[in-house]
Amino acid sequence: MNSDPIADYLTRVRNAIKASHRIVEIPSSKIKKEITKVLYDKGYIQSYKFDDSSVQGTIKIALKYNPNTKQSAIVKLERVSKPGLRKYTGSENLPRVLNGLGVAILSTSKGVMTEKEAKSLNVGGEVLCYVY
């Protein structure tokens, strides 16, 4: 059993990028699926597929690389809120990542979303990770 499945998810993606893999497989959960959808919507990954044939299921993520420089679209994935120290923020002081160039992924009462979407909906929540 894993004590922090989101950190495991981010680490698997980070390791796949460092090894220049095209596809990474990750054990599935609802929160991981939502984070994957946000990463796809913001253009950090090329595509994804949810495979629910087994008991837990898997997420297959096709990573995005620049065809000329072979550099990944994701430069850094950073876990913010950890099981030992949760980080919550209100709608009035949502974090800005890299002065607006990156995104902060939040878990709110209205679902998993970026800080910009949370600002427009005027909701706060738990800051899961930073991506840039």
The confidence score (pLDDT) of residue 2 equals 80
**Phi, psi for residue 104 in degrees, rounded to 5:** -105, 130
Residues of the chain with pLDDT under 50: none
What is the pTM for the complete model shown?
Answer: 0.94
Look at domain 5-131 and name its CATH class.
Answer: alpha beta
pLDDT at 1: 64
Query: Domain boundaries in the chain?
Result: 5-131
Beta strands in the chain (DSSP E): 23-27, 45-51, 58-63, 77-79, 88-89, 103-108, 111-114, 125-131
Instruction: Of 9, 14, 15, 32, give the one whose Cα is nearest residue 132.
Output: 14
Residue 119: count other Cβ atoms within 10 Å of its Cβ: 16
Distance (Å) of CA 5 to CA 26, 106, 128: 10, 15, 11
